Amino acid sequence: MLAALILLPLAGALLAWLLPGDRFRPALLPLFAFPHLGLTLWLLYRTPLPSPGGWFNLDPLGKIVLLCTSVLFLFCSLYALGYLAYRRERSSRILCIGLLVCLSAASLVTTTHHLGLLWVALETTTISMAPLIYFNRNARSIEATWKYLLICSVGVALALIGLFFLAYSTIVSGMEPSLLLDDLMRDAPRLSPSWVHAAFVFLLVGFGSKMGLAPLHTWKPDAYGEAPGLVGAMLAGGLVNLAFLALLRIYQLCLATREIVFFQNALVAMGLISMFLAAVFMARQADFKRMLAYSSVEHVGIMAVALGLGGKAIFGALFHVFANGLTKGVLFLSSGNIHRSYNSKSTSQVAGALRRLPWSGGLFLAGFIAITGSPPFAPFISEFTIVSSAFMQGRMLVAALFLLSLTIIFIGMALTVLPMVMGEVPESSESSPYRDTVWTVGPPLVMLLVVFLLGVWIPEPLLAILRAAASLLEVRA
Looking from the CA of 287 toward its CB, the CA atoms found within 13 Å total 12
The reply to whether 84 falls in a domain is no
How far, in Å, CA of 15 to CA of 191, rounded? 46
Residue 194 included in any domain = no
Residue 146 lies in a domain: no
Q: Are 447 and 75 in contact (CB under 8 A)?
A: yes
Assess if residue 107 is contained within a domain: no
pTM: 0.95
Q: What domain range is 452 assigned to?
A: 265-476
Domain contains 171: no
Determine, yes or no, domain membership for 198.
Answer: no
Q: Is the peptide bond before 215 cis (omega within 30 degrees of 0)?
A: yes
Q: How many domains does the chain have?
A: 1
Which residues, 6 or more positions from 281, have their beta carbon under 8 angstroms from its beta carbon? 221, 294
Residue pLDDT tens, the chain, 477 long: 789 999 999 999 999 999 988 888 999 999 999 999 999 999 999 988 898 888 999 999 999 999 999 999 999 999 999 999 998 888 899 999 999 999 999 999 999 999 999 999 999 999 999 999 999 888 889 999 999 998 888 888 899 999 999 999 888 888 888 899 999 999 888 888 888 889 999 999 999 988 999 888 888 999 999 999 999 999 999 999 999 999 999 999 988 887 788 889 999 999 999 999 999 988 778 899 999 999 999 999 999 999 999 989 999 999 999 999 999 999 999 999 999 999 888 888 899 999 999 999 999 999 999 999 999 999 999 999 999 999 999 999 999 999 999 999 999 999 999 999 998 888 777 778 888 999 999 999 999 999 999 999 999 999 999 999 999 998 665
Residue at 343 is within a domain: yes
Is position 464 within any domain?
yes
pLDDT digits (tens, 9 = 90+) for 80-120: 999 999 988 888 999 999 999 999 999 999 999 999 999 99
